[in-house]
């Protein structure tokens, strides 16, 4: 009787172990999103890097039930050319999706929009070759380079998104505009920017993430649809 009892207990234990293994196998791995950008992505000037764009976005998504790792692939000072030069190694084998936030430094340097467009095209081509969904985040040109420059620069993001079928966020600073802050008006930005007037402070980062968050959720939905998971 003892032997039979022990055998029954062992059978239950073995069955329980198998159940646990199957349950573990069914748990989806977190989605890895690579955020390719410049100082706005890198968290330039912030005393605590946990207050930067990538970690704040990851936390925002986690609060909404998304298991996501947002990799910070931002390099301060990077232009679209710099992003193109390093996108190949920035996208590791674990990457499931890509956010592209580049162009601000092209504007500061007055780079020809045709060159910026060609660089972004190369980045999107690399993502397409890896079958990675992309959220392309647009920057808005100021008017100081003239109307033709502004029209060409502003149009390239939408044109490229249409060419490659990527998601498009039309303005990186939409979250700031939503509270009445205008990137072209330094006075209205003072509460949300660092003293240099170019980079967001922690409160500014939060607002930027709130503005972009829904588009990132749409990006995750594309990943989950491809993987056959429920959004």
Instruction: Using alpha carbons, list the distances in angstroms from residue 125 to 12, 72, 120, 163.
Output: 53, 21, 8, 10
Rounded to the nearest 10 degrees, the angle between the axes of helix 53-63 and helix 202-227 is: 60
User: β-strands 97-101, 31-37: how paired?
Assistant: parallel
Domain boundaries, the chain: 29-227
pLDDT for 211: 96
pLDDT for 11: 45
Q: Which residue has the higher pLDDT, 200 or 25?
A: 200
pLDDT for 21: 43
Q: What does pLDDT average to over the chain? A: 89
- State pLDDT tens for residues 131-141: 999 999 999 99
pLDDT band at 13 (very low <50, low <70, confident <90, very high): very low
CATH ID of 29-227, from 3.40.50.1110, 3.40.50.300, 3.30.70.1280, 1.10.8.420: 3.40.50.1110
- 30 DSSP assignment: P
- State pLDDT tens for residues 70-123: 999 999 999 999 999 999 999 999 999 999 999 999 999 999 999 999 999 999
Residues assigned a catalytic role: 39, 196, 199
CA distance 170 to 140: 9
CA distance 19 to 25: 10
- State pLDDT tens for residues 169-191: 999 999 999 998 887 787 888 89
Q: Is the pLDDT of residue 10 over 70?
A: no
């Amino acid at each position: 009787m003892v032997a039979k009892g022990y055998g029954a207990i062992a059978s239950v234990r073995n069955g329980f172990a198998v159940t646990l293994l199957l349950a573990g196998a069914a748990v989806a791995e977190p989605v890895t999103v690579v955020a390719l950008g410049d100082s706005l992505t890198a968290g330039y000037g912030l005393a605590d890097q946990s207050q930067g764009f990538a970690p704040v976005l990851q936390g925002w998504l986690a609060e909404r039930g998304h298991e996501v790792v947002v990799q910070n692939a931002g390099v301060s000072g990077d232009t679209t050319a710099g992003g193109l030069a390093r996108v190949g190694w920035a996208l590791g084998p674990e990457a499931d999706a890509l956010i592209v936030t580049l162009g601000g430094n092209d504007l500061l340097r007055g780079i020809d929009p045709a060159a910026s467009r060609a660089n972004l095209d190369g980045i999107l081509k690399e993502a397409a070759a890896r079958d990675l969904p992309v959220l392309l985040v647009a920057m808005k040109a100021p008017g100081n380079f003239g109307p033709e420059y502004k029209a060409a620069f502003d149009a390239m993001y939408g044109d490229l998104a249409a060419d490659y079928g990527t998601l498009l966020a039309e303005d990186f600073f939409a979250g700031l505009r939503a509270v009445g802050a205008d990137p072209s008006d330094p006075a209205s930005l003072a509460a949300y920017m660092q003293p240099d007037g170019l980079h967001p402070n922690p409160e500014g980062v939060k607002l930027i993430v709130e503005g972009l968050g829904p588009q990132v959720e749409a990006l995750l939905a594309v990943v989950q649809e491809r993987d056959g998971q429920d959004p």
